[in-house]
Structure 1
Amino acid sequence: MLAYVLFALKDLWRRLANLRRRMRAAPDYVLFLLEGAYPDLPAPDGGFLRRRLAPRPLSLEELAERFEEVAGDPRVRGVVLHLRALRLAPAQIGTVRGMIGRLRAAGKRVVAWATSYDIATYWVACAANEVLLQPGGGVAPLGLRQEYVFLADALEAVGLKGDFVQISPYKTAPDRFTRTNLSDEAREMANWLMDSQYHALLEAVRAGRTLDEAGALRLVDDAPLTDKTALDRGAVDHLVHEEALPAHLGTDGRPARLVPWDEARRQLLRPPLPHPGRHIARIRIDGLIVDGWSRRPPFRLPFPILGEVQTGDLTVVQQARQVLEDRRAAALIVYVNSGGGSATASEAMAASFQQVAARKPVVAVMGDVAASGGYYVTTPARWVVARPGTLTGSIGVLAGKFVDTGLGRRLRTHREVVSRGKNVGLFHPDRPFEPHERAWVWESIRRTYELFLERVAAGRKMPVEDVDHVGGGRVWTGRQALERGLVDELGGMEEAEAKALELAGITTRLSVRDVREGRNLMAPSSVAAGEPEGLGGLQAHLATAWGLFRGGAPLCLSPVLWTRDMGSAYDP
Structure 2
Amino acid sequence: MSTSSHGPIYRLFRALWDALNFARRLVFNLIFVAIVVAILVSLSSGTRKIDARTALVFDPSGAVVEQYSVDPTGRALARLSGNEQAEVQLRDLLEAIDGAAADARIERMVFVPDQITSLGLATARELGAAFERFKAAGKEIVVVSTGMEQNVYLLAAHANRILLDPDGAVVLQGLSNYRSYYKDALDKLGVQAHLIRVGTYKSAGEPYVLDHASEAAKQADAYWMGGIWQEYIDEVAGLRKIDAAALSDDINHFDQRVTAQHGDLAQLALEQKLVDELATGAQARAQLRALGVADGDSFRQIDFADYLGSRQAQRLPRAGKAVAVVVAQGEIVPGERPPGMIGGKSTADLIRRAREDAGVSAIVLRVDSPGGDATASEQIRRELAQAREAGKPVVVSMGDVAASGGYWISMASDEIWAQPNTITGSIGIFGLFVTIPDTLARIGINTDGVGTTPLAGAFDIRRPLSPQLEAVLASVIGRGYAQFIGNVAKARNKTPEEVDAIAQGRVWTGAQAKERGLVDKLGGLDDAIAAAAALAKLDKDHPVRYIEQPLSPWQRLAITLGGSDATLQFARWSGLQLPPGLLGRHEMRELSAIAEVLRGKRFAAWAHCLCEPH
Task: Tell me the TM-score normalised to structure 1 length.
Answer: 0.77
Residue matched to 1:288: 331
**1:194 Cα offset (Å):** 1.7
Distance 1:42 1:48 in 2: 12
Show structure 1 runs of 5+ residues with no match. 1-16, 297-308, 519-572
CA deviations 1:421-441 (Å, max 9, x no partner) are 321344432344434443332
Instruction: Give the 3-state SS of the residue equivalent to 1:164 in structure 2.
Output: strand
Of residues 445, 453, 461, the one that matches 1:429 is 461
CA deviations 1:188-245 (Å, max 9, x no partner) are 0110122012112211321122012222223433545533333233221111222223
Distance 2:183 2:376 in 1: 29
Distance 2:301 2:335 in 1: 50
Whether 1:357 aligns to 2:393 is no
Distance 1:253 1:42 in 2: 34
**1:356 Cα offset (Å):** 0.6
Distance 1:248 1:50 in 2: 35
Contact 2:320–2:542, Cα closer than 8 Å, also in 1? no
Instruction: Give the 3-state SS of the residue equivalent to 1:182 in structure 2.
Output: coil
Instruction: Give the 3-state SS of the residue equivalent to 1:132 in structure 2.
Output: strand
CA deviations 1:72-131 (Å, max 9, x no partner) are 112322111112153222222222322222222222211112112332332222121111
Residues 470-479 or 338-347, more deviating: 338-347
Distance 1:172 1:249 in 2: 51
Of residues 239, 246, 253, the one that matches 2:278 is 239
Whether 1:336 aligns to 2:362 is no
Residues 271-280 or 407-416, more deviating: 407-416
Correspondence list, 1:189-204, <5 A: 189-204=220-235
Q: What RMSD in Å do the two structures reach over aligned CA positions?
A: 3.1
**1:154 Cα offset (Å):** 2.3
CA deviations 1:12-60 (Å, max 9, x no partner) are xxxxx89x96xx623442112244322123447x364686579673211
**1:310 Cα offset (Å):** 4.9
Show structure 2 runs of 5+ residues with no match. 1-45, 259-263, 552-614
Instruction: Give the 3-state SS of the residue equivalent to 2:106 in structure 1.
Output: coil
CA deviations 1:434-467 (Å, max 9, x no partner) are 3444333222222221111121112112222221
Residue matched to 2:57: 31
Whether 1:101 aligns to 2:132 is yes
Residue matched to 1:41: 67
Residue matched to 1:481: 513
Distance 2:102 2:313 in 1: 8
Q: Which amino acid aligns with 1:354?
A: A
Distance 2:157 2:72 in 1: 39
**1:263 Cα offset (Å):** 5.1
Q: Which amino acid aligns with 2:234?
A: E
Distance 1:47 1:417 in 2: 54
**1:174 Cα offset (Å):** 0.6
Residue matched to 1:276: 319
Instruction: Give the 3-state SS of the residue equivalent to 1:331 in structure 2.
Output: strand
Distance 2:327 2:172 in 1: 36
Instruction: Give the 3-state SS of the residue equivalent to 2:474 in structure 1.
Output: helix
Distance 2:409 2:394 in 1: 11
CA deviations 1:309-356 (Å, max 9, x no partner) are 653322233333322222111111222222222222222221221111
Residue matched to 1:227: 266
Of residues 160, 175, 182, the one that matches 1:151 is 182
Instruction: Give the 3-state SS of the residue equivalent to 1:379 in structure 2.
Output: coil
Residue matched to 1:490: 522
Distance 1:86 1:47 in 2: 21
Contact 1:246–1:257, Cα closer than 8 Å, also in 2? no
Whether 1:404 aligns to 2:443 is no
Whether 1:114 aligns to 2:145 is yes
Q: Which amino acid aligns with 1:512?
A: R
Percent identity at matched positions?
29
Residue matched to 2:108: 78
Residue matched to 1:499: 531
Contact 1:112–1:125, Cα closer than 8 Å, also in 2? yes
**1:141 Cα offset (Å):** 4.9
Distance 2:208 2:512 in 1: 28
Residues paired across the two proteins, number: 487
Distance 2:151 2:159 in 1: 14
Whether 1:516 aligns to 2:559 is no
**1:482 Cα offset (Å):** 1.5
Correspondence list, 1:169-568, <5 A: 169-221=200-252, 223=254, 224=258, 226-249=265-288, 257-262=300-305, 264=307, 273-276=316-319, 278-294=321-337, 310-358=341-389, 359-408=391-440, 419-507=451-539, 508-516=541-549
Task: Tell me the TM-score normalised to structure 2 length.
Answer: 0.72
Q: Which amino acid aligns with 2:128?
A: R
Residue matched to 2:90: 60
**1:476 Cα offset (Å):** 1.0
Q: Which amino acid aligns with 1:237?
A: D
Structure-2 change in CA distance of 1:262 and 1:190 (3 Å) = closer
Structure-2 change in CA distance of 1:221 and 1:130 (3 Å) = farther
Structure-2 change in CA distance of 1:264 and 1:472 (3 Å) = closer
Q: Which amino acid aligns with 2:272?
A: R
